[in-house]
Structure 1
């Protein structure tokens, strides 16, 4: 019975020819059949045959020719995503086995929104920064790009200040790692004496987050409640850019203080007022895995220990 089960599993595994997949992978990254054939030390005609066999097996064309270049079809791009993960896992396996018996460095790959506060990232990663046993990889991108990387196991954690839309097939979990109040942050020369919040909002041009931001939604509602018409100096979705514009005294920024923590310490910026009822939540998004990276647990546990309410998982 065991032999029959093993034979069936072997038959299933044999359905995908990994040699053909490897040839496809090289061609896809080279985007040129002749260069790929030279790299693989096979003839161009032989390589074409291998690619056609893989296409026949998958039931979809993987490339379309554009002049001298080969461009991936939609099915080809999907196949490349899987091939990247497969061969990356193979390289990681080889590296792990070569390090057997020696103290090896654990790899941790973090994806963060390109617009996210660097101070927040540094604070979250503090437990592993400088650890000689940790090989840290930091990647940035859009939320959609990072979630795709998470689901294809190319990153271990996604750091964001927005939560992706959940579907019936979503298998990820969101951990709130930090909730920061939002303030009016201005250059040291900005006058805040003798005025309440209405006066400050009327007095200074503002640097605001873009309209799809939760902070912006909260701020707009606050302005309506206060009956204030504000002057907008700039709308910025990148926290690093807003930090720079505030330092250049272009306007007063609507920001969590953690974003400009260093400037608040050295006095180049100052907190003019706290905006009541507005806060920004920073989150770590993880995917349930059969073989979880223990460094993920380490970071989440350390984050929970620094928060009075612990980590709120949604």
Structure 2
């Protein structure tokens, strides 16, 4: 691949037009179009198509732009890293993948110590996604750490190591208007009650299903959510009882206008940091693991 051609495409996509990009690059529109066409021929697909007076990305173009963003971002980092003029005050880029099942408030508590690493200007770059996809990115060194609510299995084939960050018990929450409908004390009142639960792929969902079965409780499942914030938003509107970490009780009640229905010490959510290092040397990962173990999340 000719990276000069890729750079021309990237500039045109960012500028939203060939003429505008040509002005920025001091290249004629004809030359720019010809170079982009050569890139399209080498890839075997169209990347840009006309849209009014400008251009828009095709589906393949959007994919190419995503990779181009990463390529030229890394190029800028490389230049800064090896340039003598860039050494003074250079920031430490810390790339973290956060499993989408981890509550945002928990993620902040865990990652916040990284921003206070002594004698470092840390630039935190967060990516949220599916746990397995994040591990794949970790395996090719696109991430320095993955934060998840489950440990990495040995069967994944990824050369990385689990570092326990902390645990918390779980609490059930309910909107005030829905509480009057339930019958009996907790947890018996959950039987037949409308409930909002985590997605089936969540490690906590599996523990919840086992706990409900052990107590012979059969709530009426109203919705399943991979996004914890969306689950709580529905719960705040009175659509059902929902579960969230006990360590976040005050924040959850204040933000969503709900009450604590009951606490379950037997239901424990665990949080892990997964990194390529068995013996942690990365200063940001060291700060996170040290602080998490010192404070511990369990409530």
Which TM-score applies when normalising by structure 2?
A: 0.70
Give yes or no for contact 1:119–1:258 (8 Å, CA) kept in 2: no
For residues 136-194 of structure 1, what are the alpha-carbon distances to aligned partners after superposition, in whole Å with 9 as ceiling and x for unaligned? Answer: 43535332775576567554333333578988774554444233333323468958997
Aligned to 1:12: none
Aligned to 2:204: 215
The equivalent residue for 2:110 is: 124
Structure 2 residue 165 is matched with structure 1 residue 177: yes
Q: 1:173 to 1:71 in 2, by over 3 A?
A: farther
2:29: which partner in 1? 44
How many residue pairs match? The answer is 284
The answer for the alignment partner of 2:268 in structure 1 is: 279
Are the aligned partners of 1:211 and 1:217 in contact in 2 as well (CA < 8 Å)? yes
1:252 corresponds to: 241
Query: Are the structure 2 counterparts of residues 27 and 158 from structure 1 closer, same or farther at C-alpha, using a change threshold of 3 Å?
Result: farther
Q: Deviations over 1:84-111 (max 9, x none)?
A: 33321232244454343x4444333434
Larger Rg: 1
Q: Distance in 2 between matches of 1:216 and 1:275?
A: 16
- Give ranges in structure 1 of 5+ residues lacking alignment: 1-15, 309-314
Alpha-carbon separation, structure 1, partners of 2:49 and 2:89:
49
Equivalent residues of 1:185, 1:257 under 8 A apart = no
Scaled by the length of structure 1, what TM-score is found? 0.67
Q: 1:108 aligns with which of 77, 94, 101?
A: 94
Please report the RMSD computed on the Cα atoms of aligned residues, expressed in angstroms: 4.2
Task: Tell me, yes or no, if the aligned pair for 1:119 and 1:261 is still in contact at 8 Å.
Answer: no
Measure, in 2, the Cα distance between the counterparts of 1:23 and 1:231. 55
